[in-house]
Amino acid sequence: MQFSVLENGKQVNNKFTVKTTGVHFIENISCAILISRILGLSWVEIEKAMSSLITPEGTMSLIKTVTGAIIINDSYNSSQKSFTAALDYLSFFKNKKKVVISSGIIELGEFSQKIHEDLGVKMSELIDKVIVTNKDNALYILNGMADKSKIKYEANLQILKKMFLKSIDDSDVILLEGRQPSAIMDVVKSL
């Protein structure tokens, strides 16, 4: 991803390139640039550091398959903000069917229903197919979705793996959001 920076209202000549996906990372990177400038680092030093920046595996990692499918592995963890940002990122992929496989967000307590319903509303607008592996979260997401035919709850690992492989064969864009079953991650590791 490439982006430019303003300093004192003027665009800096440097274009920064970072090896990450998702516009939401720019917020954190911008803070790091600001602190770097306050500490006296030059633009050249900052640009060099930005070019070596990498995100942890499973944090919006992009995998392109031989079939033309694109897998966005965001399985490291999940929050409402990161889930929403990952969904927004899917809008950059035109003319591809968009599939989300997720258990939902864990450890939300009393906020779980509302947050998952809100995610369901957003997915209803952007996503062609949603596969949820957690029954409670699937029900909450279903409540938020206008088109209920887009969502499927699936806990059977063999069926889930077959659905995932079919999406790869069909050249879809597949978002793996939040913790994933080993059957899915084994396929990802083999690609």
Going residue by residue through the chain, which has 191 residues, state the pLDDT in tens, using 9 for 90 and above: 777 788 888 877 667 777 777 777 778 888 898 999 999 999 889 888 888 888 778 888 888 998 889 999 999 888 999 999 999 999 889 889 999 999 999 889 999 999 999 999 999 989 999 999 999 999 999 999 999 999 999 989 899 999 998 888 888 999 999 988 888 888 888 87
Cα–Cα distance for residue pair 46/35, rounded to 1 Å: 10
Q: The pTM is what?
A: 0.82
Which CATH code for domain 61-190? 3.90.190.20
Is the separation of the CB atoms in 102 and 140 below 8 Å? no
| Residue 108 neighbours by CB distance under 10 Å | 16
Strands (E), the chain: 2-7, 10-17, 61-64, 70-74, 98-102, 129-132, 151-153, 173-177
Q: By CB neighbour count within 10 A (0-12 exposed, 13-18 middle, 19+ buried), where does 52 fall?
A: exposed
Indicate the domain borders of the chain: 2-51, 61-190
